[in-house]
Amino acid sequence: MTNSSDQPCITPIDRLQTIHIPIESGLISLRGLSPKRLRFELEYGLERGSTDNSFLFADFENAKTPCDQAILIHPPGATYADVFIPALKDALPKGIIKLLVVVGHVNPNRVSMLRQLTEAYPQIELISSNPGAKLLKELWVNQKPNRSKSSEDKIHPSLPALPKIKIIKQEEELPTNQKYKLRLLPAPSPRWPGGLLAFEEHLGLLMSDKFFSAHLCTRDWAEANPSSTEEERRHFYDCLMAPMSSQVASIVNKLEELDIQSIAPGHGPAIDTSWRSLLNDYQRWSEGQQRANMRVILLFASAYGNTAAIADALANGVSRTGIQVEILNCEFISPNDLMKHIRKADAYLIGSPTLGGHAPTPIVSALGTLLAEGDRNKPVGVFGSYGWSGEAVDLLEQKLRDGGFKFGFQTIKIKFSPDPKMVKTIEETGTIFGRNLLTTQQRRQRRTTEGMIASRSNPAILALGRIVGSLCILTSRKKQAEGTLSGAMVASWISQASFAPPGISIAVAKDRAVENLLHKDDRFALNILAAGRHNKLMKQFLHPFPPGADRFSGLKLDLSPNGQPLLPDALAWLEGSVKQRMECSDHWLIYAEINYGKVLDNDGVTAVHQRKTGANY
């Protein structure tokens, strides 16, 4: 297999492109390149662009003679239509009779692309899983709402007829005209119930669609080494895979049985040499999620992806606190399974779009089960998106209030899709929801056990508390095309980590709101506080902030050379850029190189944090 087609995207591209990457005779990858964030969804938050990878099996060597068929695996969404369809036409042999299209997952954006492919190639046949076929039939005649429409769900007047669909109910071989042997493997999950993976046995190539993806714009066919994409793959997992960790682990177990040589995901470069360690990572991350002591179930349905984006952000925020979130798609879960999940949960989240002024029937049914089986002593949260009215969200809230449920946060009701600032606010809402659950659990434990007291009196824990650290305020501000995100936290677990270049290490708890502004290459400022005048600043940043609140409200600020917030009353400041992140149980250890700094008070003394125990801050 080829290692790369072109050079990496060293020179940034300023528009969408689709390139051809030859893999073997009769097989090419059509890679869509996006230099910028395509969507507001959480998984694009690192803002390193993305790729959308498709795979075309055809007899390219006899391009001038009629060809029976070509097979297209995992076409992109309509975002790429203007550059993908010409690239596909250029790649296909002349006189193609039939185009078989394997649809890995189904959403409105992909259905829009399939409509356009149908217009370009009338002799098209779609291949999907059984749930995927159901979604295709539902979405084919529906037009996604936008701000210029007066209704949420309109019938498009000039749609092509839905092509023939071949349904894959279980693992099945798909014949080709060449040496290749394709196996199709259904991989349903709550987020992608129509999931369908493809495996080519001759090359050992797994075309894994969403699994093992990373949002990163690159022309390289495969990653240079595991560390080159490690952060992007972990970010993708945390955003989308973690809330369905049990299903993910089950699918990865089945993939272990394949004779894999290379994995080509739907987004990002292929994994040629380290695919085994990546499978192990997915298993390890999933097992970590399932070991959590508390569980929140998240019930949702999402017609156009907007409600799912809210669900992802909420789930990510709750997961930061170490609580397992189990996401359940109400359209594809049996009543008995739903009942079992509700009975085992410690809290409930439920979200719905509004379609034609109503909640989808599966959500109404799930609401009934929650009202019948849910524990009123456990908190609930309601969320949803809408185009014009939003009655579905109001219905969920009213029914649960009338049913005696206590709400963990104010209902989230968003018109159309959340922007990046709102996504961050929703994440913070989920984190506060999770912290409150943990606080309630700890109070119960104190009443029933002396476990906490024993932990605090452990000699090693007491000795650990004698390590002191400088009291600092970490601040960060990140500009985006859609606005500016900012955050701050009190920090004392800080140490110098290198001389040349000068660097520091900072431990950041996973549930800190500022953590998602501290990824590789992000910048921040460390404001080192002065003893004797640190209390006012500590008070400002230690009190709880509501989700989305401005951490710097009412403060006079200066700016570092790269625009990071500086506190004039600090003793000194440093500006750093993140170079590495290491996961350390409930914290991330951040290593950053120092770019700038200044002492503001030569006579001052650094404020330090004295602790009696290592069991807390």
307 and 260 within one domain: no
pLDDT score of 28 more than 90: yes
pLDDT tens across 545-591, in order? 999 999 998 899 999 999 999 999 999 999 999 999 999 999 999 99
463 and 435 within one domain: no
d(CA 41, CA 420): 8
Query: For all residues of the chain together, what is the average pLDDT?
Result: 91
260 and 354 within one domain: no
131 and 44 within one domain: yes
Torsion over CA: 561, 565, 567, 571 (sign)? negative
The pLDDT-based confidence of 1 (bands split at 50, 70, 90) is low
CATH number for the domain spanning 516: value is 2.30.110.10
Our measurement of the distance from residue 193's CA atom to the centroid of its chain's CA atoms, rounded to an integer in Å, reads 17
Neighbours of 509 (CB within 10 A): 17
Would you state the pLDDT for residue 10? Answer: 42
Domain range for 579 is 459-609
Would you state the pLDDT for residue 456? Answer: 65
Would you state the pLDDT for residue 448? Answer: 58
The pLDDT-based confidence of 513 (bands split at 50, 70, 90) is very high
pLDDT tens across 30-87, in order? 999 999 887 778 899 999 999 999 999 998 776 555 557 899 999 999 999 999 999 9
Average pLDDT over residues 340-352: 97
Neighbours of 274 (CB within 10 A): 18
Would you state the pLDDT for residue 5? Answer: 40
- Higher pLDDT pick, 504 / 175: 504
pLDDT tens across 109-127, in order? 999 999 999 999 999 999 9
pLDDT score of 449 more than 60: no
The pLDDT-based confidence of 2 (bands split at 50, 70, 90) is low
313 and 348 within one domain: yes
Question: Read out DSSP for 538-568?
Answer: HHHHHSPPPTT--TTTT---EE-TTS-EE-T
191 and 47 within one domain: yes
Mean pLDDT is highest, among 103-117, 137-151, 447-461, for 103-117
Would you state the pLDDT for residue 155? Answer: 46
Does residue 507 form part of some domain?
yes
Pair of tokens at residue 269? 């470069």
Does residue 2 form part of some domain?
no
394 and 463 within one domain: no
Does residue 444 form part of some domain?
no
Assess whether the previous peptide bond of 35 is cis (omega < 30° from 0): no
Would you state the pLDDT for residue 304? Answer: 85
Does residue 12 form part of some domain?
no
pLDDT score of 484 more than 50: yes
394 and 262 within one domain: no
416 and 491 within one domain: no
CATH number for the domain spanning 224: value is 3.60.15.10
Does residue 447 form part of some domain?
no
475 and 403 within one domain: no
386 and 345 within one domain: yes
Does residue 72 form part of some domain?
yes
d(CA 567, CA 477): 13
pLDDT score of 156 more than 60: no
Does residue 208 form part of some domain?
yes
pLDDT score of 539 more than 60: yes
Portion of the chain with pLDDT greater than 70, in percent: 93
Does residue 325 form part of some domain?
yes
Would you state the pLDDT for residue 144? Answer: 63
pLDDT score of 146 more than 60: no
Q: Please answer whether residues 43 and 37 qualify as being in contact, where contact means their C-beta atoms are separated by less than 8 angstroms.
A: no
If you search the block for the tokens 């809290």, which residue do you land on?
347
d(CA 474, CA 588): 14
SS (H, E, C) 106-160: CCHHHHHHHHHHHHHCCCEEEEEEHHHHHHHHHHHCEECCCCCCCCCCEECCCCC
170 and 34 within one domain: yes
CATH number for the domain spanning 348: value is 3.40.50.360
Would you state the pLDDT for residue 149? Answer: 45
Number of domains in the chain: 3
